Amino acid sequence: MSNAFITKLCRYAPLGDNEIAALEKLSRNPRRWASGRDLIREGQRPEIVFMLLEGWAYRYKILKDGSRHILAYLVPGDVCDIHIFMLDEMDHSIGLLSDALVVEIPPKDLMAAMEKYPAIQRALWWATLVDEATLREWLVNIGQRDSFERIAHLFCEMWLRMQAIGLVNEDESFDLPLTQVEIGDTMGLTAVHVNRTLQRLRREELITLDNARLTILDPKRLAAVSGFRPNYLHRGTEPLEKRLRERLGAPV
């Protein structure tokens, strides 16, 4: 089985055999979790760092009226905050959108790997910066784009994120375990509005979405109509290493 955690971090920093062995050690003993369960809930004290090897998770908050807002999606290879254990209590919940294979990493083991292997530390820094940049882009998405652009933009992002871990097929299709209600809770839209937007995306021959599998029929046109620019995902290792050399003035 390929390790999405290693695949993802190798995109952010060059990792040698020792670093990869350390990441494999961190990934040992994953546990199966069922769709719909929460890994951790708002108000609980976090004592474990969760990492997804398979499946989708999401960050969310429940509002006073019982409504839900989805703050982020987590896909294979994602870590649910490398410093989460420093909090006294969670300010949001993390739930599962699908059945998942989850690794529960003791904080001391993660910190030890980061201290021993600077390349792992840099890769995790980079992953955290990308998470923050993605959150900023989601704020722009909800605040400034119309419903058609919002959903098209989201689909472009998830297509690239899944592509980065090798989970997009040659026909540009990938698993998207989201209901219309969940897309609405992400984009600030009603399920009815989401349905109409999906129909338009199909009608304009931009996507197909069947049995929780999304196919991007025309990636360039979908990016154009949504105003999608992938710069906030900061893909690739060369920019990171080049910046470190230039700004630290030392080999890394």
**What is the reported pLDDT for 246?**
55
**What is the reported pLDDT for 242?**
55
Q: Does residue 192 share a domain with residue 103? A: no
**What is the reported pLDDT for 244?**
44
Among candidate residues 80, 221, 92, 213, the one with its CA nearest the CA of residue 158: 213
- Is 236 a member of any domain? no
Please count the structural domains in the chain: 2
Q: What CATH number should be reported for the domain holding residue 7?
A: 2.60.120.10
58 φ/ψ angles, rounded to the nearest 5 degrees: -155, 150
Q: Does residue 9 share a domain with residue 121? A: yes
- Is 202 a member of any domain? yes
SS3 per residue for 223-243: HHHHCCCHHHHCCCCHHHHHH
Q: Does residue 121 share a domain with residue 1? A: yes
pLDDT tens digits for range 133-151: 999 999 999 999 999 999 9
Q: Does residue 13 share a domain with residue 30? A: yes
Q: Does residue 197 share a domain with residue 175? A: yes
- Is 235 a member of any domain? no
Q: Does residue 119 share a domain with residue 80? A: yes
- Is 241 a member of any domain? no
By residue range, what is the domain housing residue 128? 1-143
Q: Does residue 171 share a domain with residue 118? A: no
pLDDT tens digits for range 214-250: 999 999 999 999 999 999 998 755 544 554 455 445 4
For the chain, which ranges sit under pLDDT 70? 1, 236-252
- Is 70 a member of any domain? yes
Q: What CATH number should be reported for the domain holding residue 175?
A: 1.10.10.10
Domain-ending residue, one of 121, 143, 165: 143
Q: Does residue 218 share a domain with residue 100? A: no
As a dihedral over the C-alpha atoms of residue 81, residue 86, residue 88, residue 89, rounded to 10 degrees, the angle is 10
Domain-ending residue, one of 143, 164, 199: 143
**What is the reported pLDDT for 248?**
46
Q: Does residue 129 share a domain with residue 58? A: yes
Taking the C-alpha atoms of residue 8 and residue 75, their distance in angstroms, rounded to an integer, is 10
Q: Does residue 122 share a domain with residue 3? A: yes
**What is the reported pLDDT for 236?**
58
User: Do residues 55 and 98 lie in contact, with contact meaning Cβ atoms separated by under 8 Å?
Assistant: yes
Q: Does residue 217 share a domain with residue 197? A: yes
**What is the reported pLDDT for 202?**
98
**What is the reported pLDDT for 8?**
93
Q: Does residue 75 share a domain with residue 157? A: no
